[in-house]
Each structure stands twice: as C-alpha cells, then as structure tokens.
Chain A
Amino acid sequence: MAGPWWRQCRRWSTNVTSTGLFETLWQYSVRSVSVSASSLGRTSWSSWPGNEWRPSALPTQKKLHTVNLTSSITRHRSRLLDPTLQSCCCRTIHSDAKPKDPFTLAQKDLKSLYDDIRKELFVSKELKHLCDYYFDGKGKAIRPMIVVLMARALNIHSNRSGDLLPGQRAIAMISEMIHTASLVHDDVIDGSDKRRGKRTINEIWGERKAILAGDFILSAASMALARIGNITVVKVLSQVIEDLVRGEFMQLGSKETENERFKHYLEKTFKKTASLIANSCKAVSILVNSDPEVHEIAFQYGKNVGIAFQLVDDVLDFTSGASQLGKPCAADLKLGLATGPVLFACQQFPELHAMIMRRFTSKGDVDQAWQYVLQSDGVQQTTYLAQRYCQEAIRQISMLRPSAERDALIRLTEMVLTRDK
C-alpha cells in the first residue's frame, strides 16, 4: 500500500502554482480532465464552464519570453526540459542513478509481444494474413512500453515484488491491438496508402477487407480483455474504444471561434490519442492497487504524456521531412485538419481563419497555410504546450515511490519531446 510519504508529496505538489504563459488554457485542460476522470474516464469537456482563454488577451511580455525559451530549446535540441520543471518535481524524490533508457528497460517484458498478439488473432487463411500485417515487430510499440513500465512502477509502489501480473501484460498487448485496429480504420477514412513505410491494408486488399480486418482485431482485443476477468478493467478500456470513435467524429467539423476551436482540438487529441494511454495505465493500476488516488496518478501520467505525444506529432507534420515520419508532410492540412501549429498561427495571421473554416479545400490553401505556419511561432508555441503537458506528467508520476521504471517514465517524457520522427 501507498505510505503516507507520497500523500504528503502529493499535497505539496498540488500547492505548487504554475505561472506559465498558457495558464488559463492549461488550467482548463488539466482541471477538466480530472473532473472527467472522477466519472470513470468519461470526459465532459463541452460542459466545462471555466473556459475563458483568450489568446489575444495574453500579456505580450510573457509571450515573448516563452517564444524565446521555446525556440532556444528547439534550436539546440537540448536534452534538458524547462529548468523549472526539474526543481519543482523531482527535488524530493530524485534517485541517484541515471535513468535507464525506457526501451531497454521495457524490453524484457515486450520480447514476445507481437508473437502473443498474433496468437490472439485466431482465424485462418487470408483474414489472418491481413490481421497480422501490422504486427510484424517493426512498430515502436510505444503504448505497450508505457504500460509495462507503468505496471512495474506501480507494483513496486504497491510493495508487490516479482514479475508483471498476467493481466497487466495482457493490457500491454490489448493497448497495441486497439491502437492498430483504429489505425486500419483511420487509413480507410483518410484514404491513406502508406503507413510505417508499408502499403496500407486498404491499398493492397481494398476497403471492404480492411474494415473487416480492423473489426476482427478489435473483437480479439475485446475477448482478451474479458479474459482478464476484471469487469472494472473491461469498463475502463471499453471507454477507450468509444473515445476513439468520438475523437474521429470530432475531426469532421470545424468550430467557428478560436476559443472553441482550441478546446475542440485538445478534446479531440485526448480522445484520439491520450485516452488509450491514460486508460491503459489506469487499468494496470486497478489490477495491483485498490487506491483510487493511485489510479488517478496512472491515468494523469498517461493522459498528459499522450497529449504531449500528439502535439509533437502535429508539430512534426510541419517540420519533419517526408521520409522521416513515413508519410507525406503537411498530411493533416491535406486532410483538412487544423492542428496546434495552425491554430496558434491563426493568432498572428487571421487570414487562416477562412481557410480553417473551409478545411483548406480551395486551390493553394495548403501551401499558403503551410507558409503562414512556418512564418508564425505556431510550431514553437505548440512545442511549448507539449512541454507543459510533459511537466504535468512528471509531476504526477513523481508521486510514486522511486524505481528504475518510474524514472524511465520520466525520461520518456523527454524523449517524447525531442523525437524527430
């Protein structure tokens, strides 16, 4: 069980008042998700009343400061995060050894991950081939990695020594399966022909079969989930499936005002990316610890890392060359999606508003929008926002008892920010 030391730590950390540029926006997103988390992961963003963030109302001085800070970080590719972060989060509970590389540390638990997933996909002939297609061992398996590290960190926190629980390992596997099933469907929705440097399933076998393959992977994931035998875990991860679809729906529409647009974007980002990570982390904590506050730490870490991960992804869509991400540049713009960098750029170039509303469909829109984004500080501001989410993730995970796995999760936030593909 969690000793009083970490409760104290938590109390202390909640007293830390952040005074950053994104104060209001930040408060909005952090608070509204903790509201939602208390109701079993169901978000209620739209009903959140305190959203008064006005980009134009931000004090200029603060803004300049941040931009400088952020761009310098970007320029030097510094491995250090915002210095305030280290002083505020890791002070009391810093372990001496240099944190191990998360990938190395998680490897022993992920060795047979893809083999095990392929065993779950119990079906014959061609459909088997389609379902196995992306479980070729070449994926980064970021989600399973976070899940196993979190599980081990939580086990140590809960005084449980030894190996992962079988259910925790199953959740690592299920997280990758749900993720892949949604990718297969997304590729049909977006009409993509490339994924991870391979041709997509819809490109090779056609849309009809691709949709069925996605449905099959989902049903196999759902069966594996049920076999864990814990109905609370089933509920937590079923919520993810609903969030993924709702997130996809949210991409269909554009919001009229800036304020609504940003809120919509962050909510969509939570549902499409962070919910899976957050709820998988929560699920592994439910299996080892009965304290809801511990579940909340796991959820919050996953949520914040997940949002940061997606924000960086959205930045890379503008900054990375076509070869690195395995897909063409400005793919989001071409799909009509306005992500963080565009929304920030819109503050400096109001011309973008009309383009966002027509989803970059007029001739030349994509190139023009691209130019505006690169001329603005949209990329830097989005990166800065990602850093803030990582800081919050670190603040959360630091409430756990020290362990190599916990430190690896802290280190991971840094890698999320500095990755270039």
Chain B
Amino acid sequence: MLLTTTLLPRVITCNWAQTPFFTFISSFISLFTGGGQRTLSLFSSSGPSNWNKVVSDAEKIVGYPTSFMSLRCLLSDELSNVAMHVRKLVGTQHPLLNTARGFVYDSKNNLQMRGLIVLLLSKAAGPSHASSDLLPQDMVSGIYPSQRNLAEITELIHTAFLVHRGIVNLKEWTVSDGPLKDMQFGNKMAVLSGDFLLANACTGLAQLDNTKVVELISSAIGDVVQGLYYENHNNNEEYSLTSGIDVATWEEQAFLSHGALLAKSCQAAMELAKHDKESQRLAYKYGKHLSLGHKLNSDLQPFVKSSVGEPASFCLSAAPVVFHRQIVGTERWLQLLQQAKTQRNQLDYSKLLAAVKSEKGVSSAVDLCCYHGNKALEAIQAFPSSEARSALENIASAITKI
C-alpha cells in the first residue's frame, strides 16, 4: 500500500532539490518560518518506496528541470520584502504561514509535480516536425526552452493559488482566535505575494510568443478560480450538512480546481512544439485523468490508512463521503449526521469515518481512481515508446495504488 501522505513530500529529492525553483521556494519558506532547520530535517526522513523511485527516476529523464525565471523572482526586492514582513506572522494563526510550511511539509501540495509532468510529456512527444523555427539543437535533454518555461509558469500559478487560498475572512475571525491585526497583515502579505507570482506568470506567458498558449493557460487560471470558489462553498460545513453535491458535480469541480491547470499545461506544451491537434488532445487527456486520479487518491487516504490513536480528519466534500451520501441517499445521510453529533453540536468525525467505511463509498472511490489512472495510461500509449513515456506510465500506475 502506498501511503501518499507520508511519501509525496519526497517528490522533492536529489537533483530536483537543487533546481533554482526549489531553491527559490525553500529560501522563501525558510525566511517565512525563520530558519532552514525544518526544511533540512524533512529530507532526511526518507525511506525506500515505490512512489519515491518513480518520481526520482522521472526527474533524471528531464535533465535540469527548470529555467532561471524563478531565480529572478527569488532575487526580487518584492519577495525579500514579503519574507521579511511575514516573519512577523510567526506565532500567529494566519494560514499563510501554514501555506508556506506546506510547500515543504504537506503532501497535498505536491510541489513541482505539475512541472515535472509537463517536462516528461514534452520529452515523450519529441522534437517538432512542423515548425522550422524550432531547432533540434535548441533542445536540452529533449525539451525545448519554451516548454521548460511553461513548466515553471505552471508551478508559479499553482503556488500563487496556494497562497491566495490562505486568505482569511476577517468578519469570521473572533477575538479568541487571536489579534485581528495579525490577520489583516497576513491577508495583505498573502494577496501581494500571490499577485506577484501571478503577475510573473503573466509576463512569463507573454514571453512564450504564442497567443494560443496565453489564452489556454489564462483560461486554466479562470478554471482554478472557479474550482476554488466552489470548494470554498462546499467546505462550508453548514452547506455539506444540508444539500451537498453528487459525484458528477464532484468530478466537475475537482477537475476545475485540481485538473484544469495540468491538463491545459500539457496541451500547451504540445502546442509550443507545434505538435498536431491529436497529440494536444492526448496530452490534455493525460493531464486531466492523472490529476483526477491523484485527487481521488489523496481524498481516500484518511479512509484507507490505519491511523491508530490519531483523530479522524477529512473533509465532508471528500470523494468517499460524496459517494457514500449518494449511495445511502439523503435521508439516511442526514440521520447519520444527527447521530454523529456530540453534545456540543460538533461532528464526531471518527463516527462518520466508520459509517463511510462500512458501505461502498470507499470502494467506489477506489474504482473511480483506477478508472482515471487507466484513462491516463491509455492516453499516453499513442506517444512513441521512450523512457519519458515509461516514467509517465509509472506515475499513472502509482496513483492507482492505494
């Protein structure tokens, strides 16, 4: 069994960890959190695993993974300024601090995973046949510089939204949560640094010299916003308790928030090398199904891992819960919620967990995860056999191992 939660942080390993982008993020974070100690300790806690091997093999294939665009970001006055200010947040409860730590700690964020996949697909598709502007000698490790820039822009956008996600609604903040001033300040920093990353993504996109790619990636930004907006809405406990969403809607929304950016970046990587429409469609398909499979995999974790003594923690819009609700029907679901309520009107999540596990919600989500993993595998088969393609196959298989 693959324990994604503990293993994914090691996506950042060996040569990958020495890239400019990684350096940028980690120094950003160590400035945020006030030191590099924690960052270091994270990398020593590695052990052999399937996933780890899949990813580190994949990294070797794409050579040096990124350009120096992010280095410019790191060296900018703006980010040093933010880092300096955000030190003040240490000790407060503003989520920006956790977001910053999460770049390194939290498995869900999968730093650089998107960039890696864009690079692998670029390499798997090979040199351009259609364009005379693109010269084979410009490629490094079988990847065009514009594709490397794109991989990095994808990461910038993803990171920008991690930051913007951590904005706090000030009216919901009560005095017992801590001083409001800290939250105002944290919001200010989160808005500014997220905007800064997005603005750099915009100028980076323009430099790719392809308006189709600009349009495609801009639409992906819009998709992510919509996805996060719905997520925001669905995570509202009150909402989940009354109506909730069905599986089809769940998939639609998960695609917006977790799949659109990767799917469209994969497509754009093909467009940059002037590969035909069919290659673009397949690349999009790979990115889409891989992201959905991955989202299901991480939603499933609290339901499959044996967490003795740990309090159950999951979200009411997690895939197994959505399946469960659909299987048992609204009435029984509402009954269950009533039963799971404690005297203080809080939800007892371990009770809910047991209930969901007792029905078919978990296995349905596992099936759906495998379905998406297989769809991703299917899409990649049309590309010529290569080590890059094998790496993409391995990644697609790994997400179905729950």
Contact = CB atoms under 8 A, between A and B. Distances in A.
B211 A229 contact: yes
A133 interface: no
Q: In the A-B complex, list the 3 residue pairs whose CB atoms are closest, starting with the nearest.
A: A226-B215, A206-B169, A222-B218
A273 B205 CA distance: 23
A393 interface: no
29 contacts: A123-B226, A127-B226, A185-B195, A188-B187, A188-B191, A189-B191, A191-B184, A207-B168, A209-B232, A212-B164, A215-B164, A215-B198, A215-B221, A216-B226, A222-B202, A226-B211, A234-B205, A234-B214, A238-B205, A239-B203, A241-B198, A241-B202, A241-B203, A242-B200, A244-B199, A248-B195, A249-B192, A252-B85, A252-B192
Contacts of A215: 164, 198, 221, 225
Contacts of B200: 242
Contacts of B360: none
A159 interface: no
A189 B195 CA distance: 11
Interface residues of A, number: 40
A69 B215 CA distance: 51
Nearest to A205: B169
Given A223-B215, A238-B203, A244-B199, A209 B192 contact: no
Contacts of A216: 222, 225-226, 229
Contacts of B219: 219, 223
Interface string A218-259: 111011011111110011001101101110110011000000
Nearest to B77: A249
A127 B215 CA distance: 21
Contact of B81 (A185, A188, A253): A253
Contacts of B214: 222, 225-226, 231, 234
Given A127-B229, A209-B229, A209-B232, A248 B168 contact: no
Interface string B259-290: 00000000000000000000000000000000
B194 interface: yes
Interface string B211-243: 110110011011001101100110000000000
Contacts of A226: 211-212, 214-215, 218
B188 A189 contact: yes
Contacts of A363: none
A228 B211 CA distance: 8
B206 interface: yes
A235 B206 contact: yes
Given A126-B229, A245-B192, A249-B77, 11 more contacts: A127-B226, A185-B191, A189-B187, A189-B191, A215-B164, A231-B210, A231-B214, A234-B214, A235-B207, A248-B192, A249-B192
A223 B78 contact: no
A201 B173 CA distance: 18
Interface string B10-47: 00000000000000000000000000000000000000
B209 interface: yes
Count class of interface residues, chain B: 35 or more
B203 A206 contact: no
Contact of A219 (B169, B187, B210, B222): B222
B64 interface: no
B99 to A, nearest CB: 13
B28 to A, nearest CB: 15
Contacts, number: 124
Contacts of B206: 231, 234-235, 238
A223 B191 CA distance: 22
Nearest to A239: B203
B204 to A, nearest CB: 9
A208 interface: yes
A246 B79 CA distance: 10
A148 to B, nearest CB: 23
Interface of A: 123, 126-127, 185, 188-189, 191, 206-209, 211-212, 215-216, 218-220, 222-223, 225-231, 234-235, 238-239, 241-242, 244-246, 248-249, 252-253
Nearest to A210: B167
Contacts of A229: 211
A387 B3 CA distance: 67
Nearest to A244: B199
Contacts of A235: 203, 206-207
Nearest to A216: B225
Contacts of A242: 199-200, 202-203
B211 A230 contact: yes
Contacts of A228: 211
A27 B277 CA distance: 53
Given A230-B211, A242-B200, A211 B222 contact: no
B170 interface: yes
Nearest to B222: A219
Contact of A246 (B78, B85, B164): B78
B171 A223 contact: no
B211 A234 contact: yes
A212 B229 contact: yes
Count chain B CB atoms within 10 A of each CB in A206, A209, A222 and give the residue with the most: A222
Contacts of A245: 78, 192, 195-196, 199
A220 B214 CA distance: 11
A6 B228 CA distance: 53
A239 B209 CA distance: 14
Contacts of B205: 222, 234, 238
A239 B191 CA distance: 19
A218 B191 contact: no
Contacts of B207: 235
Count chain A CB atoms within 10 A of each CB in B195, B215, B222 and give the residue with the most: B195
Contact of A212 (B78, B81, B225): B225
A209 to B, nearest CB: 7
B133 interface: no
Nearest to A234: B206
A241 B233 CA distance: 29
B218 A252 contact: no
A222 B233 CA distance: 26
B172 interface: yes
A208 B228 CA distance: 10
A222 B147 CA distance: 20
Interface string B146-179: 0000000000000000001001111110000000
B170 to A, nearest CB: 6
Nearest to B82: A249
B233 to A, nearest CB: 8
